[in-house]
Amino acid sequence: MKDGVNGVALGVFIFFFAAVTVMGFLAARWRKAENEASLDEWGLGGRSFGTWVTWFLLGGDLYTAYTFVAVPAAIYAAGAAGFFAVPYTILVYPLIFTFLPRLWSVSHKHGYVTTSDFVRGRFGSKGLSLAVAVTGILATMPYIALQLVGIQAVLDVMGVGGGENTHWFVKDLPLLIAFAVLAAYTYSSGLRAPALIAFVKDGLIYLVIAVAIIYIPIKLGGFDDIFAKAGEAFSETNPATGKPRGALAPGEAGQWGYATLALGSALALFMYPHSITATLSSRSRNVIRRNTTILPLYSLMLGLLALLGFMVIAAGIKVDNGQLAIPQLFENMFPDWFAGVAFAAIGIGALVPAAIMSIAAANLFTRNIYKDFLRPDATPEQETKVSKLVSLLVKVGALAFVLTMDKTVAINFQLLGGIWILQTMPALVGGLFTRWFHRWALLAGWAVGMVYGTVAAYGVASPTQKHFGGSSAEIPGIGEIGYIGLTAFVLNVVVTVVLTFALNAVKAPVGTDETSPADYTADAGDPGVETELPPATAGAPGGH
């Protein structure tokens, strides 16, 4: 790393940061609606976003700063195995196409703001809804923390992170400022702020990637040279494991892991509360389906970005902390001013998802814990107030996490979060298509998946860590190494199906279903879809 502060890069970075801050506060006035005080306004942007806003919002939401740092870092570390992010994002879109429009329709019809709202309404079970809500909050918190880790990586490379001997307050001051700004505009503008800032974020990201993918290979002598050098580096033996460091294409042994990781991650992505929040903020069913045809542009960008990992190796950059690989590549390769633009892209790339995630977690708490268990008679105004406060708390929690604990803790928890969130899929997606599953069976299946996933992940060792060393372990019965989350998910489904048969046989009470089949295909403009918003009595079954 170069010594001292990169002044030009820092100046450009601050300029963009200040610009999006102003945008964040002005966003409150963008497309303002009348029922300002409702949670639909603050937490879902009035459910009014069209195709392009939704595209930017979802892209800004799913392709986070951490993604930009972690995907090339994984390639840098091990080669081919890190590329699973590309098939993963390819598989996401056919999945969205199939189930999200149904979730959109039923949510609009009944005023559901979160996935737990839907699960409660569909299965008449507050317990199951609480399980889904708690899983969502637990999985989201470390994800927010990782966004701050992404900002830290950029600040480090720019030289403003301070050295080892700097006072902790000075060292963390830039991060604290970034955080305070984020918290303030999310509080005042809600989902509108990240939606507006996402335009800047994605514009910058596409620009940086386009330049990087042309400019850097030219400087490094073309892709032939880059992959030749990377191939050499990967064939060297890693002293810690005694095996080669990585490979340019996965060997026989790694293929199960690659496929299960891609599939499991794809299934999990739209279980995350922040993905659902961005989806429900769209204006109509068609906006979602149309988005599945244009969102893959981001996958292409992700693929190109992943290739930058090889360029880090070819450029001879050696970093101990893989997360610094990409920022360091930009710093070394680009002129100072453009490095500043690239850093701003990553920094702002952290703000958008962090804002949406904190809003999503806050909505879950407000709707499915505060309203369902603590204050059943809360008015929409109170709901919004609580949600705003909780969004602050969630971010403070994430900040405390990053400042007090080692980075690996946040990464471990995020890995667990992915495994956990996948366990909510049977209740959510199953519920969208059938009412056959029994609510208690779903709860039991969820519990089994959570426990198995956690225990299995705890047992994975790596050369640097005794526990949580990775997300893959041997699949019982098959003997191949595969993604723990997917194994846990299969167990979860098996338990759910078996118990549903058993519970139905003994005629256990199935709970009230407040939805009807037509609700799942309703579209904006259909009778009852627009008029029922905002939902003042969504908690009462059959409140419509």
When binding is defined by CB under 8 A, the residue of 59, 121, 150, 250 that contacts another protein is 250
Integer Rg of the chain from CA? 23
Q: Which of 263, 359, 411, 503 binds another protein (CB under 8 A)?
A: 263
> Residues 25, 93, 99, 458: which binds another protein (CB under 8 A)?
93
- Yes or no: say if 273 and 361 are a contact pair by the CB < 8 Å rule: yes
In contact, 464 and 320? CB cutoff 8 Å: no
Query: Would you say 296 or 470 has its CB closer to another protein?
Result: 296
Residue from 203, 240, 304 nearest 461 by CA: 240
* Cα–Cα dist 79/103, whole Å: 37
**Residue 421 Cα distances to 95, 427, 528, angstroms:** 16, 11, 32
Cβ(136)–Cβ(361) below 8 Å: yes
Give min distance, CB of 84 to another protein, in A.
9
Q: Which is nearer to another protein, 241 or 521 (CB)?
A: 521
Binding range to another protein, per CB under 8 A, among 28-36, 106-114, 244-252, 531-539: 244-252
DSSP symbols for 187-199: HHHTTHHHHHHHH
Report the residue number, 33 or 300, with the smaller CB distance to another protein: 300
CA pair distance 446, 492, nearest whole angstrom: 6
Nearer to another protein, 140 or 275 (CB): 275
Using the rule CB under 8 A, is 528 a contact of another protein?
A: no
Are 422 and 488 spatial neighbours (Cβ–Cβ below 8 Å)? Answer: yes
Give yes or no for residue 235 binding another protein (CB under 8 A). Answer: no
The least distance separating another protein from the CB of residue 493, rounded to whole angstroms, comes to 17
Binding mask 46-85 for another protein (x = CB under 8 A): ----------------------------------x--x--
- Single residue of 94, 463, 509, 528 touching another protein by CB under 8 A: 94
| Encoded tokens for 380 | 């929409």
CB of 523 to another protein, least distance (A): 9
SS (H, E, C) 1-31: CCCCCCHHHHHHHHHHHHHHHHHHHHHHHCC
Give the nearer residue to another protein in terms of CB position, either 407 or 435: 435
Size of the site for another protein (CB under 8 A): 42
Least Å distance between CB 448 and another protein?
25
**Between residues 314 and 346, which has the closer beta carbon with respect to another protein?**
314
296 binds another protein (CB under 8 A): yes
Nearest to 471 by CA among 423, 414, 426: 414
Q: Which of 262, 271, 399, 450 binds another protein (CB under 8 A)?
A: 262
Maximal C-alpha separation, the chain = 72
Cβ count within 10 A of residue 184: 15
327 binds another protein (CB under 8 A): no
The reply on whether position 299 binds another protein by CB under 8 A is yes
Least gap, CB of 153 to another protein (angstroms): 24
Kindly tell me which of 97 and 458 has the beta carbon lying closer to another protein.
97
Structure letter (DSSP) for residue 425 = H
Q: How far is the CB of 226 from another protein (least distance, A)?
A: 7
Choices 46-54, 92-100, 147-155, 358-366; region in contact with another protein by CB under 8 A: 92-100
Span from 159-167, 297-305, 330-338, 421-429 in contact with another protein (CB under 8 A): 297-305
Is residue 303 part of the contact set for another protein (CB under 8 A)? yes
423: phi then psi, degrees, rounded to nearest 5 = -75, -10
Q: Which residue has the tokens 């830290």?
A: 152
Q: Does 307 bind another protein (CB under 8 A)?
A: yes
Q: How far is the CB of 256 from another protein (least distance, A)?
A: 8
SS3 of residue 213 by DSSP: helix
Number of C-alpha atoms within 13 angstroms, CB side, residue 341? Answer: 16
Q: Report if residue 536 touches another protein, rule: CB under 8 A.
A: no
Alpha carbon distance 124, 119 (integer Å): 8
Question: Shortest approach of another protein to residue 395 CB, angstroms?
Answer: 33
Q: Is 223 in the site for another protein (CB under 8 A)?
A: yes
- Kindly state the tokens that stand for 451: 């426990």
**Of 258, 272, 370, 446, which one interacts with another protein (CB under 8 A)?**
258
What secondary structure letter does DSSP report for 406?
A: -
Residue 220 binding another protein, by CB under 8 A: no
Output the smallest distance, CB 412 to another protein, in A. 26
Instruction: Tell me the pairing of strands 472-474 and 481-483.
Output: antiparallel
- What is the CB-side half-sphere exposure of residue 7 using CA atoms within 13 A? 0
Position 7 contacts another protein (CB under 8 A): no
Tokens of 355: 């804002």
Our finding on whether 478 is near another protein (CB under 8 A) is: no
> Cα 334 to chain center, whole Å?
29
Shortest spacing between CB 262 and another protein, in angstroms: 6
Nearest approach in angstroms of CB 51 to another protein is 12
Bridge partners of residue 247, in order along the sequence: 79
User: 473: number of CA atoms within 13 Å, CB side?
Assistant: 24
259 in contact with another protein (CB under 8 A):
yes
CA atoms within 13 A on the CB side of 527: 2
By CB atoms closer than 10 A (0-12, 13-18, 19+), residue 262 is buried
Residues forming contacts to another protein in the complex (CB under 8 A) are 80, 83, 86-87, 89-91, 93-94, 97-98, 222-227, 248-252, 255, 258-259, 262-263, 286, 289-290, 292-293, 296, 299-300, 303-304, 306-307, 516-518
